[in-house]
């Protein structure tokens, strides 16, 4: 793993909501220890407007956020990844590219807020729930003493974090 900055890729199928939220949250919370990216197996080509609105209301940087293919991170010259987290069940079941650096992987499934039907208020509430759960998991991940843990312990911890639910364990 990198000595100074850990590169983390969050994956989802469309790369329009959950993975985008996770990228912005970790880049804000990472305090220079992490550089977060997001991508999708079948990117939709645009970021969900509810995701952008939520990030802006939380005063998180949205500059540079875009829906992109995971192929960008398997290509020559891509950042060497230390961690890859799938945040949707569909992406977790797909065959992923070979990532440079052989990163540690874990599944952190989150219900898709972009799939919620209903009023604007109901959609915003779904995005807020996804944000809170991602923020909680990312906060726990960012607080891990990665330099002091062996690979097996890190793998166990990132897996445990991915099993946390909105209401606790």
Report, as residue numbers or ranges, the catalytic residues. 12, 88, 96
Cα angle value 66/71/76 (rounded, 5°): 110
Q: What span, in angstroms and rounded, lies between the C-alpha atoms of 165 and 139?
A: 14
What would you report as the CA-atom Rg of the chain, rounded to the nearest whole angstrom? 15
Strand runs (DSSP E) across the chain, as ranges? 6-12, 34-40, 83-86, 104-107
Provide the 8-state DSSP code for 111. -
DSSP secondary structure string for all residues of 135-166: HHHHHHHHTS-GGGS-HHHHHHHHHHHHT-BT
Single out the residue of 168, 54, 16, 19 nearest to residue 8, CA to CA: 19
The tokens for 96 are: 């992923």
């Amino acid at each position: 793993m990198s000595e100074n900055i850990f590169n983390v890729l969050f994956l989802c199928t469309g790369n329009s909501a959950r993975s985008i939220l996770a990228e912005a949250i970790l880049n804000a919370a990472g305090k220079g220890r992490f550089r977060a990216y997001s991508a999708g197996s079948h990117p939709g080509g645009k970021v969900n407007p509810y995701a952008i609105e939520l990030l802006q209301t939380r005063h998180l940087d949205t500059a540079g956020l875009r829906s992109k293919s995971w192929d960008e991170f398997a290509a020559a010259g891509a950042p060497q990844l230390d961690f890859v987290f799938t945040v949707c069940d569909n992406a977790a079941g797909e065959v992923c590219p070979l990532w440079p650096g052989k990163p540690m992987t874990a599944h952190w499934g989150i219900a898709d807020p972009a799939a919620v039907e209903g009023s604007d208020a109901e959609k915003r509430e779904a995005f807020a729930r996804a944000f809170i759960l991602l923020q909680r998991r990312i906060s726990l991940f960012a607080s891990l003493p990665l330099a002091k843990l062996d690979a097996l312990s890190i793998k166990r911890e990132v897996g445990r974090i991915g099993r946390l639910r909105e209401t606790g364990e």
